[in-house]
Amino acid sequence: MAIFLLPSFALIVVFYLLPVLLTLLISFTDMDYSFQWNWVGLKNYVQMISDPIAGKVFNNTLLYVFSTLALFNVGAALVISLITVHIPERVGQGYRALWLLPRITPSTVYALLWLWAVRQDPTALFNWILGFFGMEPVNWLHKHPWPIVILVNGFVGASFGMIIFTAALKSIPADYLRAARVDGASTLQIIRHIELPLIKWPLMFVTAYQTLSLLTSYEYILLVTNGGPGYYTTEVWALYSYHLAFAQYGGIVKFGYGAALATVLVILGLILSIAYWRVFRLKELMVEPKIEV
């Protein structure tokens, strides 16, 4: 049977283990556009500790990851799933389909829609809504960049959890819900005492998976704010690594330092994976139930 695992193992080695190893090796060099392997040891990591931008970017990353996770990728996804399974099925399906639109829309088109919606022009969507309350137009990307970044990413991220949670809720045996109704349980009581405990595993899985996904994501931040406005206001760790290695700030390419930042991100991801594994006791949940006779 092991031979059938070889293709998957080969893909993991080629597209994950080898890139991680290569990134680790480059992080010990001062490689630039000349691609010279000049070994500098731990210099890049020592520089990272004293880099004031790295500290700011790290705090930005924590804000971005856990705010988006709590408000949208888990929070909004769970609320949408719970609401849409307790309303008429056709209405619920239509509402869930609307939440899938941001995910299936091309990234650049999606980002341009947001840039149109938050521009300072009075006819822009956000300012048009403010106009109904007699409020002046706002330059949202300059005045409130973080809420926009979280909204842009959250509307995309919520759909993943929504699909997982909805499938889990629909897999709950109908007899449980009928028995609760017969006993006089309200909808809120059913959600609290039956549905939420029974989807514990999907909740933990989505929380762990989406945390790691957000740690490495920067696509929409790059398209909407490019880490700005101002002094690295919305720059996150993965985007900072990209900018140093590929964006050529000031015409200087720092592959070595960018690789060191990426290596730290991999290590942080591994630490969080182990933490989730232990805190959520995922190993216990994965054990097949025993049937005693």
Going from N- to C-terminal start, the domains of the chain cover 53-282
- How many angstroms separate the CA atoms of 216 and 241, rounded? 10
> Letter for the amino acid at 43?
K
pLDDT tens for 52-81 read 899 999 999 999 999 999 999 999 999 999
Three-state SS at 79: helix
CB atoms within 10 A of CB 127: 20
Residue 215: both structure tokens together: 């740690």
pLDDT of 4: 82
Query: Homologous superfamily of 53-282 in CATH?
Result: MetI-like (1.10.3720.10)
pLDDT of 165: 95
CB atoms within 10 A of CB 73: 27
pLDDT tens for 132-170 read 888 888 899 999 999 999 999 999 999 999 999 999 999
Query: pLDDT category, 251, cuts 50, 70, 90?
Result: low
Query: pLDDT category, 219, cuts 50, 70, 90?
Result: very high
pLDDT of 287: 56
pTM of the model: 0.86
The residues pairing with 39 across neighbouring beta strands, listed in sequence order, are 29
Instruction: Give the chain's mean pLDDT.
Output: 88
Three-state SS at 31: coil
> Tokens 């020592």 correspond to what residue?
46
pLDDT of 179 higher than 60: yes
Query: pLDDT category, 250, cuts 50, 70, 90?
Result: low
pLDDT of 291: 40
Phi, psi (degrees; rounded to nearest 5) at 227: 85, -5
pLDDT of 160: 93
Three-state SS at 29: strand
- How many angstroms separate the CA atoms of 13 and 29, rounded? 23
pLDDT tens for 273-282 read 888 888 876 5
- How many angstroms separate the CA atoms of 211 and 66, rounded? 8
- How many angstroms separate the CA atoms of 7 and 167, rounded? 29
Could you give the C-alpha distances from 29 to 53, 215, 219, in angstroms and in order?
20, 24, 27
Which is it for the CA torsion 112, 116, 120, 126, positive or negative? negative
Please name which of 58, 105, 120, 87 lies closest in space to residue 264, comparing C-alpha atoms: 58
Please name which of 280, 253, 261 lies closest in space to residue 216, comparing C-alpha atoms: 261
Phi, psi (degrees; rounded to nearest 5) at 29: -125, 170
Maximum separation of any 2 CA atoms in the chain, in Å: 74
- How many angstroms separate the CA atoms of 151 and 160, rounded? 15
pLDDT tens for 9-49 read 889 888 888 988 988 998 998 887 777 888 888 998 998 98
pLDDT average, residue stretch 246-264: 78
Any residues with CB less than 8 A from the CB of 290 and at least 6 apart, and which? none
- How many angstroms separate the CA atoms of 225 and 227, rounded? 5
